[in-house]
Amino acid sequence: MPSSPRSYLVVFITCAVLLNCQSLLSQKRYKNTFGLGFSAAYNFQTESFGAGLRASVPMGKSFSLVPQATYFFAFNPVHELHGQVNLHYHPFRLGRFMPYLIAGASVNQWFSYAASPYPQARALNFLAELGAGISFRKRSVAFFVEHRYNPIWQEGTIHLGALFYSRNGKFGGRRKPNACPAYL
């Protein structure tokens, strides 16, 4: 896990953003669309596996803000931690499927940068990300697959995961079939 003060700062900022997203649940019109989830990641260029946590915060009808953290494990050729903020644009839905475009930024704490043959390698890097994805939603769970490209390091990463959406400000539980709408 993190070993330097900068990496703890990246983890702290990412966790603070993820936790503070819950405050958006107080906005009534977005009450049923806030999501928390996880993902598995694979970077094709570095041949590295990782795991991530994310939130999905609605920013209007077609946009969502997605803060996330992705950790690429120490057994990989590249050991790193990313703190990311992405904007997802959802142009349309196809039944339960929703394609989306991704644009965002990432702060990368690269733990194994000293072993890199690249002269521009540093412990802390700021990166851009572009990509696309598609999600399949069933009730309050959305499964997704997305591909992101980092033009600075020319790396492609695929993410597979699930988002769990809140219902009336709470996660989980089932709606009662004959419940009064005033109490939903």
168 half-sphere exposure, CB direction, 13 A CA radius: 9
3-state secondary structure of 120: coil
E-strand ranges in 29-140 read 35-43, 48-58, 63-72, 80-89, 97-110, 124-138
What is the biggest distance separating any 2 CA atoms in the chain, rounded to whole angstroms?
A: 65
d(CA 24, CA 17): 12
Q: Which pLDDT score is estimated for 30?
A: 46
CA separation for the pair 82, 63 (Å, rounded): 22
In sequence order, which residues have a C-beta less than 8 Å from that of residue 74 and are 6 or more positions away?
111
So what's the pLDDT on residue 106? 92
113 domain residue, yes or no: yes
Instruction: Note whether residue 48 is domain-resident.
Output: yes
Query: Looking at the domain assignment, is residue 183 inside a domain?
Result: no
Indicate the DSSP class of residue 176: -
CA 62 from chain centre, in angstroms, equals 17
Nearest-CA neighbor of 131 among 87, 68, 80?
Answer: 87
Q: What pLDDT is stored for residue 34 in this prediction?
A: 84
Q: Which two tokens stand for residue 4?
A: 């330097």
Q: How far is the C-alpha of 8 from the C-alpha of 76, rounded, in Å?
A: 20
What's the CATH code of the domain at 107? 2.40.160.20
Give the CA-trace dihedral at 63, 144, 163, 38, to 10 degrees. Answer: -120
Domain range enclosing 42: 5-23+33-174
pLDDT by position in tens, the chain (length 184): 455 656 666 666 665 555 555 444 444 454 447 899 999 999 999 899 999 999 999 888 899 999 999 999 999 988 999 999 999 999 999 999 999 999 999 998 888 877 777 777 788 888 899 999 999 998 889 999 999 999 988 999 999 999 998 866 555 555 555 566 565 5
DSSP state of 44: T
Reported pTM: 0.75
Q: Are 129 and 108 in contact (CB under 8 A)?
A: no
Residue 164 in any domain: the answer is yes
Q: Report whether 108 contacts 89 (CB < 8 A).
A: no
Domains of the chain: total: 1
